[in-house]
Chains A and B, each alone.
Chain A
Amino acid sequence: MIIDHPLLGPRDAQEFVYLGDADLINRPDWQAEDAADAFHDYLYLRDNPAGVHRELWYHEQGDRSWLVVTRDTLTHEISKVELARDVARAQGRGR
């Protein structure tokens, strides 16, 4: 597979390490009432779709950026690649 790195262009997927569902960015609030359940759902339950999947890849053999890759799990077609940091900020994980 080839991942079109937003800064570096097309790179072989072998340079990357795969983590999983991009929802792992959305770590729950540890002080919330339902924190135990929220952390359980966050860490363990996955949509696991047959189709478009947003997922985290780490460019370990490259620039060490974490990326959010939007990829179809049936065809492996990649439709979007973003810097995870930008995604995290856009999702309000900044301060």
Chain B
Amino acid sequence: MKQVNRLSGGLVDRDQVLGFTFDGKRYEGHGGDTLASALLANGVRLMGRSFKYHRPRGVMTAGSEEPDALVELRSGGRQEPNTRATVAELFDGMQARSQNRWPSLRHDMMAVNDRLSNFLTAGFYYKTFMWPKAFWEKLYEPTIRHAAGLGRVSGEDDPDVYDKGFLHCDLLIIGAGPAGLSAALTAGRAGARVILADEDFAFGGRLNAEMFEVGGEAGSDWAKAAVAELASMGNVRLMARTTVVGAFDHGVYGAVERVADHVAAPVEGQPRQVFWRITSKRALLCAGATERPIAFANNDRPGIMMASAVRSFANRWAVAAHETVAVFTNNDDGHRTAADLIAKGVRVTAVIDTRADAPAVEGAELFAGAQVIDSRGRLGLESVRIRTAQGFTRDIVCGALAVSGGWNPNVHLTCHQRGRPQWDETLAAFVPGPDLPVGMLVAGAASGVLSTEGALRTGAEGAVAVLADLGIAATAAVPQAEDAPVDLTPFWHVSESKGRAWIDMQNDVTVKDIKLAHQENFVSVEHLKRYTTLGMATDQGKTSNMGGLAVMAELTGKSIPETGTTMFRPPYTPVSFGALAGRAVGKHFHPVRETPSHNWATERGAVFVEVGDWLRAQWFPQPGETHWRQSVDREVLATRRSVGVCDVTTLGKIDVQGADAAEFLNKVYANAFAKLPVGKVRYGLMLREDGIAYDDGTAARFAEDHFVVTTTTANAVLVYRQMEFARQCLWPDLDVQLISTTEAWAQYAVAGPNSRKLLEKIVDPRFDISNEAFPFMACGEVTICGGLRARLFRISFSGELAYEIAVPTRYGDAMIRALMDEGEAFDVVPYGTEALGVMRIEKGHAAGNELNGTTTALNLGMGRMVSKKKDCIGNTLSERAGLNMADALKLVGVKPVDATQAVKAGGHLMAKEGPVDAAHDQGYVTSAAYSPILESSIGLALLKNGAARLGEVMRIANPLEGDDVEVEIVSAHFVDPDGEKLRV
């Protein structure tokens, strides 16, 4: 197909012919094209539909501010909704589709909304759809939801990978137009570490879109030379296709680099996009300016575009927006479009300038003091109607209208930390205010300096200034360039227009909507935005906020700055989820922590469970076992009958040393440690300062000045943090040193009546581990297997005679194998977390489900452990009345009256007879398991005044799942309540 609107010249590579499709139709473009420029080159003006009225829309801008030409790209998992055709770099084979239309872009059934627009005014939905009550959710809302939305998500997983990274620099320059390039040259030549980032794939900004000369050569050539010089500097990093999207505290910026969006798919291993967090000492914002429209009736037809965009398409992309173009402007800049088009041989049918004293135009008819009041053309502009200075109306034939209402500096990033822009009368625009993000300066058009020479100069001077702060001397060298002053008469909307005049194109907010908002007292800017949805579209109001504000100002009779300001929040342009997630996807969402027996357990076919970041063996199925309960019951029974081994490495281990180590533990644990003898272990209960139980574990004393304490797996990090707080902030002069050793030791619980016999085969003979020599709660350093250093603790979580043995982690794999080999004589089993849980419930040990952050030592039956003779964290506040009520919850056991019934954790305890409701709630089941020893389901529960209610029959209400189980309240210690097994 012929590129009917392709002109000569420009910066496209005609040697590259790229085929692409739009809505299934095949077209061709060139290297350097965007989808928008290529479509325009092919004479395609209709590119999309608006959000609410489904009005036909074309492309309005040539940049990231585009509100209208949104398309879906690619398909399957790579389907990408809402991509602006203006920034989609053309590649061979690109598939693009229009969106938010049915059945086709030309014939969209939902365009009926446009006919009904008089009923669908701003906020109409707040006033209706209330009756009948049920209809909102059943009829109205589903209909609205179906019609709303823009592009589609395929629902398939995105196959591409994304990356993140971190960069550091002296100076981050945001935008590589004349100001940014000039700043980068200045800073780069001075030796500073510079990052120059631009959202475009070509550096140069407006230099690539204008016919200006810089230093006697074409602006685009000057830009190319500047980039070449910068590329040769080792201290300058050039980042094209990189949008700086947010300015965060203390010089931190977020930036998205689109690495592979300009190709059909990334090459293997290449990320599609990278999200960079840039830490800068200084930043220079050179983000340019955005041209703004003038509202008039039907100003949204395909072909009505920004004048600067028409110029960009012509000069950079060698594309005429249409064969016939008219210009509508309130300032001199619009005239440049006419001049450039005429120079390229495009027919300019009229220049309509709102200013009575508009400068003359060569080669086109000028209407000074005139206004465009309406337009015609359903799927593409055919003509505009103007009112001349003399008051006559006249129709001007044109397929494109280039509109210029002046320029708004791109102050967005200056607002990201609540800086407020300030009003500039000359530009009739907001410019950066005094409250810039720390370390940021603004140069060029973004700062309100709109001429090319001004941009080059302020860029260079800005660089000199910020580098001076850093002690780097730089000198500004500014080439000669165009330096025209701004001549503009503010003009926002054509009030004579009869029809709807659009302010926010995408969201279909018109001047009338703003008038209605005013009439209904939604006059503050925030109310206006929220009521009308002005500025809430995917362009975040880049082309609409100013217009809306200006209309509201007119209605309230206030000035624009009195009416409000335009505020912008991150991101500058929308950022893909993929980039922000980076590599943290799928199985790599969080790092995995593996225990020392992981490989061995994998070989044994263990089923693993996530415990925080740890993967632990949950149970070890044997051939023939078809249900997890079979495996777990077997592991429990075998352990209780003979011996079992469990990897308990995940428990936190903190090494506590120092002359005051014991005193320190006395303060952080509720119970006393000062008198614990060397070679002994003690259970420890740690409270929060509010008196609630925090964590439990053991402390083993290896020397007068040396303890090793354990924490629960879940709280390892938190307890260490809390202990460092106590050490550094509360008792800074205690001589105590802490360090985590969780990972350094592979630790196994060896439990069951034969555990000693098994360990005796492992522990070297010179260590006597008999009951007498190494009694319950003993600990010591031993050697095993012929000399390997190890630590042995005689502690038990299962209630059996049990030990924990620790070896340096590199021997952990060999250790479990050795235990299994040596244990064969005793039919040793490995057991997982499930059997561990069963045995601790049988024994009545509180764990995470009981230590749930709301229970006290009293609730857990450990009230007497809280020593009242010493200061410790949580002691004082644990005495509050509310925590010591007569009917306080107490830990009890529950056992079904009918042993075939199952107790479930999360059921609520109720009196056997009587109502089942919240008012009669007596407590809840915290943990439950099937006990193969007792051949019954059992549970632990927190019951009001539970200690006094043993023997009572109650019911466990579980209305959630329709269960109701009668249970007997029993002691939480189902097995060996007196602990005899522990001491044999």
Chain A residues whose C-beta falls within 8 Å of the C-beta of B734 in the assembled complex? 95
Chain A residues whose C-beta falls within 8 Å of the C-beta of B690 in the assembled complex? 43
Chain A residues whose C-beta falls within 8 Å of the C-beta of B721 in the assembled complex? 17, 58, 60
Please, what's the 1-or-0 string for A1-36, where 1 marks a CB less than 8 Å from any CB in chain B?
A: 110000000101100010100001101101100011
Please, what's the 1-or-0 string for B849-880, where 1 marks a CB less than 8 Å from any CB in chain A?
A: 00000000000000000000001000111011
In the complex, A31 Cα to B877 Cα: how many Å? Answer: 13
Please, what's the 1-or-0 string for B776-789, where 1 marks a CB less than 8 Å from any CB in chain A?
A: 00000000000000
**Would A89 and B733 count as touching, CB distance under 8 A?**
yes
| Partner of B279 from A2, A36, A65, A95 at Cβ < 8 Å | A2
**Would B732 and A2 count as touching, CB distance under 8 A?**
no
In the complex, A89 Cα to B279 Cα: how many Å? Answer: 34
Chain B residues whose C-beta falls within 8 Å of the C-beta of A77 in the assembled complex? 438
B266 CB to nearest A CB, Å: 28
* A88 in contact with B730 given A17-B721, A36-B876, A39-B689 (CB within 8 Å): yes
Q: Is A46 engaged at the interface, CB distance under 8 Å to the other chain? A: no
**Would B876 and A88 count as touching, CB distance under 8 A?**
no
In the complex, A73 Cα to B876 Cα: how many Å? Answer: 32
- Which size class do B's interface residues fall under? 20 to 34
Residues B715-736 near A (CB distance < 8 A): 717, 721, 724-725, 728-734
In the complex, A36 Cα to B730 Cα: how many Å? Answer: 18
In the complex, A56 Cα to B689 Cα: how many Å? Answer: 16
Considering the complex, give the chain B residue whose CB is closest to the CB of A66. B728
In the complex, A69 Cα to B721 Cα: how many Å? Answer: 17
| Partner of A93 from B438, B717, B730 at Cβ < 8 Å | B730
Chain A residues whose C-beta falls within 8 Å of the C-beta of B482 in the assembled complex? none
Considering the complex, give the chain A residue whose CB is closest to the CB of B738. A64
Considering the complex, give the chain A residue whose CB is closest to the CB of B438. A77
In the complex, A67 Cα to B170 Cα: how many Å? Answer: 27
**Would A85 and B732 count as touching, CB distance under 8 A?**
yes
Chain B residues whose C-beta falls within 8 Å of the C-beta of A39 in the assembled complex? 689, 876-877
Residues B294-308 near A (CB distance < 8 A): none
Considering the complex, give the chain A residue whose CB is closest to the CB of B251. A2
Residues A38-74 near B (CB distance < 8 A): 39-40, 43, 56, 58, 60, 64-66
Q: Is B250 engaged at the interface, CB distance under 8 Å to the other chain? A: yes
**Would A58 and B724 count as touching, CB distance under 8 A?**
yes
B779 CB to nearest A CB, Å: 26
**Would A2 and B724 count as touching, CB distance under 8 A?**
no
Chain B residues whose C-beta falls within 8 Å of the C-beta of A87 in the assembled complex? 729
Q: Is B46 engaged at the interface, CB distance under 8 Å to the other chain? A: no
| Partner of B730 from A25, A31, A35, A76 at Cβ < 8 Å | A25
Chain A residues whose C-beta falls within 8 Å of the C-beta of B252 in the assembled complex? 1-2, 12
| Partner of B879 from A19, A36, A76, A89 at Cβ < 8 Å | A36
Chain B residues whose C-beta falls within 8 Å of the C-beta of A88 in the assembled complex? 728-730, 732
* A93 in contact with B732 given A2-B279, A39-B689 (CB within 8 Å): yes
**Would B876 and A24 count as touching, CB distance under 8 A?**
no
B961 CB to nearest A CB, Å: 38
Considering the complex, give the chain B residue whose CB is closest to the CB of A1. B249
**Would B728 and A35 count as touching, CB distance under 8 A?**
no
**Would A84 and B250 count as touching, CB distance under 8 A?**
no
In the complex, A2 Cα to B166 Cα: how many Å? Answer: 14
In the complex, A83 Cα to B438 Cα: how many Å? Answer: 25
A28 CB to nearest B CB, Å: 8
A31 CB to nearest B CB, Å: 8
* A84 in contact with B279 given A36-B879, A39-B876, A76-B250 (CB within 8 Å): no
B280 CB to nearest A CB, Å: 10
Chain A residues whose C-beta falls within 8 Å of the C-beta of B876 in the assembled complex? 28, 30, 35-36, 39
**Would B251 and A93 count as touching, CB distance under 8 A?**
no
**Would A66 and B725 count as touching, CB distance under 8 A?**
yes
Chain B residues whose C-beta falls within 8 Å of the C-beta of A89 in the assembled complex? 732-733
**Would A43 and B689 count as touching, CB distance under 8 A?**
yes
| Partner of B725 from A1, A30, A58 at Cβ < 8 Å | A58
* A24 in contact with B250 given A36-B879, A39-B877, A43-B689 (CB within 8 Å): no
Chain A residues whose C-beta falls within 8 Å of the C-beta of B730 in the assembled complex? 25, 27, 88, 93
Please, what's the 1-or-0 string for B903-940, where 1 marks a CB less than 8 Å from any CB in chain A?
A: 00000000000000000000000000000000000000
**Would A85 and B728 count as touching, CB distance under 8 A?**
yes
Chain A residues whose C-beta falls within 8 Å of the C-beta of B279 in the assembled complex? 2, 10, 12
**Would A43 and B877 count as touching, CB distance under 8 A?**
yes
Chain A residues whose C-beta falls within 8 Å of the C-beta of B251 in the assembled complex? 2
In the complex, A12 Cα to B248 Cα: how many Å? Answer: 12
Residues B690-725 near A (CB distance < 8 A): 690, 717, 721, 724-725
Considering the complex, give the chain A residue whose CB is closest to the CB of B876. A39
In the complex, A88 Cα to B871 Cα: how many Å? Answer: 18
**Would B728 and A76 count as touching, CB distance under 8 A?**
no
* A94 in contact with B733 given A30-B876, A76-B249 (CB within 8 Å): yes
Chain B residues whose C-beta falls within 8 Å of the C-beta of A36 in the assembled complex? 876-877, 879-880
Chain A residues whose C-beta falls within 8 Å of the C-beta of B438 in the assembled complex? 77
Chain B residues whose C-beta falls within 8 Å of the C-beta of A30 in the assembled complex? 871, 875-876
Chain A residues whose C-beta falls within 8 Å of the C-beta of B731 in the assembled complex? 93
Q: Which of A39, A40, A93 has the most CB of B within 10 A?
A: A39
Residues B871-903 near A (CB distance < 8 A): 871, 875-877, 879-880
**Would B877 and A40 count as touching, CB distance under 8 A?**
yes
* A65 in contact with B728 given A36-B876, A36-B880 (CB within 8 Å): yes
In the complex, A58 Cα to B720 Cα: how many Å? Answer: 11
In the complex, A51 Cα to B416 Cα: how many Å? Answer: 19
Chain A residues whose C-beta falls within 8 Å of the C-beta of B732 in the assembled complex? 85, 88-89, 93-94
* A1 in contact with B250 given A36-B879, A39-B876, A77-B438 (CB within 8 Å): yes
29 contacts between A and B (CB under 8 A): A1-B248, A1-B249, A1-B250, A1-B252, A2-B249, A2-B250, A10-B279, A12-B279, A25-B729, A28-B876, A30-B875, A30-B876, A31-B871, A39-B689, A43-B690, A43-B877, A56-B729, A58-B724, A58-B725, A60-B721, A66-B725, A66-B728, A83-B728, A85-B728, A85-B732, A88-B732, A89-B732, A93-B729, A94-B732
10 nearest A-B residue pairs (beta carbon): A94-B733, A2-B250, A30-B871, A1-B249, A88-B732, A85-B728, A66-B728, A95-B733, A39-B876, A85-B732
Q: A12-B279, A36-B879 are in contact. List 12 more A-B contacts (CB 8 A).
A: A1-B252, A2-B249, A2-B279, A10-B279, A24-B729, A30-B875, A30-B876, A58-B725, A75-B417, A88-B728, A89-B733, A93-B730
